[in-house]
């Protein structure tokens, strides 16, 4: 067993968190040299190791970083039959001084446990979440790309493991952290379609939780839209399909009348970490911000009358991705030139400068782990 020391580096350093005994078993042969870092599709190549922990008999145990590979599971586990499975998406960056930073980990940790509570799952203690990620990223730090717009994507996940059938919350769980080096999620501005039949989240549902089933239900309508030549969908409210909510795996933002406008967080919309980051950056730069319901009519009329000058998707994977065209009921609406959008361009630069350590981290968002 090795004790892993975790220190959070922020504007005012926090005390050292108590150490956990994390066993480390390293691979005999690294796949690092066999990986083409100039061609990194999202989520395809995994680093040499993963972190795992088990919740059994009312406590967390078996903390281990071990070689990435299959996990032995019963085919009767609750996650497979009743959907108790959640995850997060985070990124680690190589800073200009060579150190490795995980961006806004505390926000992902808080949302992870909100998702767990909504899905009637056990929550993960902060020291386990943070130190598990830190131990894994530190061991596989050579996998963190150094090229611009590249990063190490971190996927913490929690799933139910009771090996029995019965519609009830599981009493056992497995917490796993995977890491994958990745390039840009999208390589061009998006062509999106406003979805008016299917829905991603309904009032009283689990739309605000980052649970696996939310993504499963989106696949069929997304595939249908892609067959029509679109890249993603814009999801709308389940009741009347009147208001804009999300797009694929990202939140949405618009610049309307010189103001940054984004759908307010509701129980049908994921509280995005990148969304929160962009809004904080916008306010710090003096941009007016509105968080409110945004109707389809307002968006489409804004494109036509020139009041809507920018539209973009924001998320951990997408970062800031421009929207070039919006399809609605068979008609296509073309937005302004994606290369001439002053707000989103300036915010994207500011965000990247902070994440890669090119400017001082005035917000305390970078957590140095290696």
Structure tokens at 296: 């389809």
Look at residue 13 and tell me whether its pLDDT is greater than 80.
Answer: no
Q: Which residue has the tokens 């795992």?
A: 52
Please say whether the beta carbons of 100 and 137 come within 8 A.
Answer: yes
190-194 and 232-236 strand pairing? parallel
Poorest-pLDDT segment among 9-18, 253-262, 285-294, 347-356: 9-18
Residue 187's pLDDT is 86
Look up residue 65 and give its DSSP letter.
E
Look at residue 34 and tell me whether its pLDDT is greater than 50.
Answer: yes
What is the pLDDT confidence band of residue 7, given thresholds at 50, 70 and 90? very low
Tell me the mean pLDDT in the region 239-246: 97
Structure tokens at 204: 């009283």
Look up residue 271 and give its DSSP letter.
-
Structure tokens at 188: 């061009």
Residue 266's pLDDT is 95
Enumerate domains of the chain plus CATH numbers: 2-184+357-368 (3.30.470.10), 190-339 (3.20.10.10)
List, for residues 81-123, the tens digit of each pLDDT value.
Answer: 999 999 999 999 999 999 999 999 999 999 999 999 999 999 9
List, for residues 73-83, the tens digit of each pLDDT value.
Answer: 999 999 999 99
The backbone region for 149, taken as left when phi is positive above 0, alpha when psi lies in -120 to 50, beta otherwise, is: left
pTM above threshold 0.75 = yes
Residue 78, exposed/middle/buried by CB under 10 A (0-12, 13-18, 19+)?
buried
Structure tokens at 307: 């009041």
Structure tokens at 1: 């067993």
């Amino acid at each position: 067993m090795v004790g892993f020391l975790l220190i959070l580096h922020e504007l005012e350093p926090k005390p050292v968190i108590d150490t956990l005994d994390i066993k480390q078993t390293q691979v005999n042969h690294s796949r690092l040299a066999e990986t083409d870092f100039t061609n990194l599709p999202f989520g395809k190549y995994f680093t040499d190791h993963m972190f795992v922990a088990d919740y059994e008999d009312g406590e967390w145990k078996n903390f281990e970083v071990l070689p990435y590979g299959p996990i032995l599971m019963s085919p009767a586990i609750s996650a497979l039959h009743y959907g108790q499975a959640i995850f997060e998406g985070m990124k680690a960056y190589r800073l200009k001084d060579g150190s490795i930073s995980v961006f806004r980990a505390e926000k992902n940790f808080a949302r992870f446990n909100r998702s767990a509570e909504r899905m009637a799952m056990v929550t993960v203690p902060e020291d386990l979440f943070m130190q598990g990620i830190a131990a894994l990223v530190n061991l596989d730090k050579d996998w963190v790309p150094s090229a611009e717009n590249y990063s190490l994507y971190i996927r913490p996940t929690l799933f139910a493991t009771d090996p029995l059938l019965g519609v009830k919350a599981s009493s056992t769980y497995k917490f796993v952290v995977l890491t994958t080096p990745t390039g840009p999620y999208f390589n061009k501005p998006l062509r999106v379609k406003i979805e008016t039949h299917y829905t991603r989240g309904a009032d009283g549902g689990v739309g605000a939780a980052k649970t696996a089933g939310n993504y499963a239900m989106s696949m069929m309508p997304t595939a249908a839209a892609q067959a029509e030549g679109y890249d993603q969908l814009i999801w709308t409210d389940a009741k009347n399909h009147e208001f804009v909510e999300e797009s694929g795996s990202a939140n949405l933002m618009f610049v309307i009348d010189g103001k940054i406008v984004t759908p307010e967080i509701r129980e049908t919309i994921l509280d995005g970490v990148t969304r929160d980051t962009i809004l904080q950056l916008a306010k710090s730069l003096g941009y007016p911000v509105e968080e409110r319901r945004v109707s389809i009519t307002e968006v489409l009329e804004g494109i036509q009358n020139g009041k809507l000058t920018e539209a973009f998707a924001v998320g951990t994977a997408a970062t800031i991705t421009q929207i070039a065209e919006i399809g609605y009921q068979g008609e296509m609406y073309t937005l302004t030139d994606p290369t001439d959008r002053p707000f989103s361009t300036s915010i994207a630069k500011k965000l990247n400068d902070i994440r890669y350590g090119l400017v001082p981290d005035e917000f305390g968002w970078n957590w140095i782990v290696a």
